[in-house]
Structure 1
Amino acid sequence: MGNTILHVAAHYGRAHFAAEVLKITPALLWHQSKKNETVLHIAANEGHIEVVHLLLSIEEHYKEKLMRITYENGDTALHKAVRSRHQDVARLLVKEDPEFEFPSNKAQETPLYLAAESDLCEALVEILNSCKQPTSSAGPLNRTPLHAAVIQEHTDCARLLMQWNKSLCEEPDAGNSLHFAALLGVKEVVSDMLGWKKSLAYLPAGSENDWTTATYVAASAGKVDVLHELLNHCPDCWEMLDSNGRNALHEAILYSQANVVSYLLKPTKWDKLIEDPDNDGNTPLHLLASSNFWGYVPLELKDHPRAKKMSYDKENKTPPDVAMSCTEWTADKDRIAPSLYHNFFISIAQLG
């Protein structure tokens, strides 16, 4: 392993013993194991703040150099402290070397990214406030610390990052942070982002030929509160289409989100959604006919006056035709509800 007696003392938090060892052999302060791990790495990882204080005081003029030595995976002592959730040690390390940019390790994780991902608000504040040149915002898979905070649903960290740098809201990954907040139902973050810049709601997520927006992400995930927030800030979002020409009602039916169907069809202002075709000519009813959604069809859909049971898709099929073809190609009929086909026609007969 290449560990010295000083490494062992640091691991167990024996600050007094470590001080005595360093009086005899101060060079051990710089000794690295086979994995390039220093005594400071170990003390930071274990959260032994007294040992960290000691190590940084031994070579005052060289403490920055000691703090910047990287482990085999590129971690500095600050990475270690944050990853192990030792906020007191992390705050100390940042204060001791505020000039350092704290770059990413080999996995592209910066201490800032790790703090956001782990919901370590105190460490996050220290990094943002103490560093004259705050760490790079890029992270793994080109995700920002804001992506990390939102994906983990750490609302307080997300808000801190937005206050620090609002432009992080616009940084894409597979989508911007608003798309992740919509997917996970982090309503407070969605509200804050849209309060800063409403146009975020219109930005696409995905590839050039396969993209969606936050409205459809929320609809497909069944996040009615987020959908309400989006439509409240951007009332015309309901008219938008994704790359397949689908509206929010298409998405809700495609993903069997009955609560979203009810929400969209209760007010009459969004009635048009029920008759809009997608790029293949499928209305929401066509998608409904080909799904397993018939176990529960909201009354708002069954009884809707604008639901047309005889509209044709590009294959010249009506919703009943689609339902019939589904029963024909489903080899294992016992694996779907036996009354699916029957229920469809009972329900479709009720449509206008």
Structure 2
Amino acid sequence: MEKQKSFRGFMEKQKSFRVVMEKQLSFMGSERKKSKESPGKRGDLPIHLAARAGNLSRVKEILQNCSNYETKDFLAKQNLEGETPLYVASENGHDLVVSEILKYLDLQTASIVARNGYDPFHVAAKQGHLEVLRELLHSFPNLAMTTDLSNSTALHTAATQGHIDVVNLLLESDSNLAKIARNNGKTVLHSAARMGHLEVVKALLSKDPSTGFRTDKKGQTALHMAVKGQNEEILLELVKPDPVVLNLEDNKGNTALHIAAKKGRNQGLTCIRV
């Protein structure tokens, strides 16, 4: 009797888990082998746990027990956060595990998005995992063009975090990535300038100096954004390609100098007036 109650309890938990996955994640493969679907923390399957830990031998062992037919679908499974095994391996910087998993995937499966709006490539860029990104780019170069819910590319996210090595890698793969703006109109240069990442600003301007004239939906350039921060060197870098940018007004008629004065950035004013 006790075993029956325990079994019924287990089955109820499994049923609840499947309902959550179907409603929140469009979870696939509920008809496949249940031995591979027992969730751990966060709804992780054994393959998630192994990938998260960077346990390459365990990942290989799990995948070898799958038939060729079902491996790709198995690797498309998401936990409660919408994360695939490739996602968790990418997020945690396990490039060898990423390389192994990629052997079984196509572009569609490799770009499955988690509930936070990030795909494996994007989250690796956010964390600054250069070698993971190399592996992903080698297999699927088009991953560099994916965007999150705000239309940010992986380049945008890496630039915001100040990951200069990642920024350089992505610019080398496709310099046009720097031209893609977020939904609010802000380019990668806007964000890097606002966050004070000098080397990133230099890298972006070296690829295309004209991006300094791009405006967001408020009519503001990267220089408008930079004067709100504290990095004077960035102001000089943004003015260097063409000082005319100093005269550009936003939708409210403010130049970068006006905003610097309103924000009390006196050193910035002195810097860009010289």
Give the match's secondary structure for 1:183: coil
Unaligned runs of 5+ in 2: 1-41
1:30 to 44, 69, 76: 76
Identity of aligned residues (%): 24
**TM-score normalised by structure 2 residue count:** 0.74
The equivalent residue for 1:227 is 269
Q: In the superposition, relative to structure 1, how do residues 132 and 119 fare at CA in structure 2: closer, same or farther (>3 Å)? A: closer
Deviation, structure 1 residue 88:
2.7
- What does residue range 127-206 of structure 1 map to in structure 2 within 5 Å? 127-131=170-174, 134=177, 137-173=180-216, 174=218, 175-205=220-250
Cα distance between partner residues in 2 of 1:131 and 1:193: 22
2:58 is the counterpart of 1:17: yes
Give the match's secondary structure for 1:158: helix
The equivalent residue for 1:6 is 47
Preserved contact between residue 189 and residue 201 of structure 2 (Cα < 8 Å)? yes
The equivalent residue for 1:80 is 123
Give the match's secondary structure for 1:106: coil
Q: In the superposition, relative to structure 1, how do residues 145 and 40 fare at CA in structure 2: closer, same or farther (>3 Å)? A: same
What code does the residue aligned with 1:221 have? K
More moved, 132-141 vs 35-44? 132-141
Cα distance between partner residues in 2 of 1:121 and 1:9: 30
Cα distance between partner residues in 2 of 1:48 and 1:6: 14
What code does the residue aligned with 1:102 have? M
What code does the residue aligned with 1:50 have? L
Preserved contact between residue 45 and residue 80 of structure 1 (Cα < 8 Å)? yes
- What does residue range 1-352 of structure 1 map to in structure 2 within 5 Å? 2-25=43-66, 27=71, 28-56=74-102, 58-59=103-104, 62-131=105-174, 134=177, 137-173=180-216, 174=218, 175-205=220-250, 207=251, 210-232=252-274
Structure number, greater radius of gyration:
1
Deviation, structure 1 residue 115:
0.4
Unaligned runs of 5+ in 1: 233-352
Cα distance between partner residues in 1 of 2:80 and 2:228: 43
Preserved contact between residue 6 and residue 39 of structure 1 (Cα < 8 Å)? yes
- Residue by residue over 1:97-156, the C-alpha shift from the partner in whole angstroms, topping out at 9 and shown as x without a partner, is 224452211132210110010000111111110237636521252211111111111111
Preserved contact between residue 144 and residue 154 of structure 2 (Cα < 8 Å)? no
What code does the residue aligned with 1:116 have? A
Aligned length: 226
Deviation, structure 1 residue 39:
0.7
**TM-score normalised by structure 1 residue count:** 0.59
Runs of 4+ in 1 over 6 A off after TM superposition: none
Preserved contact between residue 194 and residue 228 of structure 2 (Cα < 8 Å)? no
